[in-house]
Amino acid sequence: MISARLDRGDYGGRVTSSDMSDEDLLANWELITRAVVRTQERVLNRIEVGGLSSLWFAALHLLLRSSEHRLPMSHLARELSITTGGFTKLADRMGQEGLIDRRNSSGDRRVVYAALTEEGLRVARRSERQYKAALREHVLEVLTAEKLVGLAESAGVLDGAAWADIAEEVRTPAAAPQRSAGLPDRRRRPVPDGA
């Protein structure tokens, strides 16, 4: 079972399907996802107690970490796993609170940036301090730094594979499925009587 191998610190080796049963694969994956989700909930609770939703924090965090504290709104939507329309609504609410504003790109009028305001920068920095303190409490008091680095390296491999798949899908879009000749074509308009 892979969990025993991970406990010994043997990272980086490729596990083949013969090394793990389907049940062990499922159990290990569910344990990882459950642990990450529960820990993230505990960490984000510290932010939410301060009055900032986890989604607002995630947007502010991305902007705080970006060059010039601004990013294209479409990029933020993708990173937050929400639609561009959903992010527009979120940006409207955050703008009303004075945390971000929108700025058009000087080079491409189609691109709209979300940028931190002075108040947004202050709130982002405060919430980031709370987030780091919660990470220390809920992660580093449980895992050693070495185990956290090993976990991050493994997650990086998965993330890289996922991004490679996404890039491949973009390069080679799926062909439209072929319709069976026996199926009715509901796209056609009815033929008027007498035609």
Return the closest-CA partner of residue 95 out of 112, 78, 75.
Answer: 112
Per CATH, which fold does 2-7+18-156 belong to?
Answer: Arc Repressor Mutant, subunit A (1.10.10)
Is the model's pLDDT at 162 over the cut of 60? yes
- Minimum mean pLDDT among 77-86, 87-96, 106-115, 162-171: which range? 162-171
The confidence band for 131, taking pLDDT boundaries of 50, 70 and 90, is very high
What are 18-36's pLDDT values in tens digits? 689 999 999 999 999 999 9
Arithmetic mean of pLDDT, 109-120: 92
Q: To 10 degrees, what angle do helices 54-65 and 22-49 make?
A: 90
72-100 core/surface letters (b: 16 or more CB in 10 A; e: else): bbeebbeeeebeeeebeebbeebeeeebb
Q: In what order do the strands lie in the sheet with 100-104?
A: 70-72, 112-116, 100-104
State yes or no: pLDDT of 2 exceeds 60: no
Residue-wise pLDDT tens digits, 54-74: 999 999 999 999 999 999 999
- Stretch among 5-9, 21-25, 46-50, 157-161 having the lowest mean pLDDT: 5-9
Residue 109: the pLDDT is 74
